[in-house]
């Protein structure tokens, strides 16, 4: 199947710093990518829909100025957690929609963010 690469797998940062997470579709072009966060023993919560060449669409309650999403190319979307705080510690997962396979979503392996 199609491959989505997400980096880094884990990151530890100090409170107040910014962290960038990359999501790449390796063998297909993804017009649309999605960003999720997941707390321990909970389901995935959709944060935003990232569309290539346009502004991201954020879900209700997600601060767009805190979670900056850029989708500058058909194979790369980035999520930047700005001025991170301990409550932002979570598992962040991206997914890309593959039009050529019935609009399946392929997921990255996730990024565990720990803010000290």
Partner 1 sequence: DAKTTQPTSMDCAEGRAANLPCNHSTISGNEYVYWYRQIHSQGPQYIIHGLKNNETNEMASLIITEDRKSSTLILPHATLRDTAVYYCIVRAIAGKSTFGDGTTLTVKP
C-alpha to C-alpha distances, 19 to 33, 49, 64, 97, 98, nearest whole angstrom? 19, 19, 15, 24, 27
What minimum distance in Å lies between the beta carbon of 85 and partner 1?
A: 22
User: Whole-number minimum distance, CB 16 to partner 1, in Å?
Assistant: 26
Considering only residues 28 through 57, tell me which ones interact with partner 1, judged by CB under 8 A.
32, 34, 36, 43-46, 49
- Name residues contacting partner 1, limited to 61-100 (CB under 8 A): 91, 93, 95, 97
Burial class for 16, CB neighbours closer than 10 Å (0-12, 13-18, 19+): exposed
Length of the chain: 116
Of the two residues 83 and 109, which places its CB atom closer to partner 1 in the complex? 109
């Amino acid at each position: 199947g199609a491959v989505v690469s997400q980096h880094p797998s884990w990151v530890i940062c100090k409170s107040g710093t910014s962290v960038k997470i990359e999501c790449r579709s390796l063998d297909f072009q993804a017009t649309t990518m999605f960003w999720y966060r997941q707390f321990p023993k909970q389901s995935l919560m959709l944060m935003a829909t990232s569309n290539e060449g346009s502004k991201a669409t954020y879900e209700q309650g997600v601060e767009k100025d805190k979670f900056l999403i850029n989708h500058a190319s058909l194979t790369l979307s980035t999520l930047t957690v700005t001025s991170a705080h301990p409550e932002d510690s979570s598992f962040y997962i991206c997914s890309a929609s593959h039009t050529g396979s019935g609009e399946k979503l392929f997921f990255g392996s996730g990024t565990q963010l720990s803010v000290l």
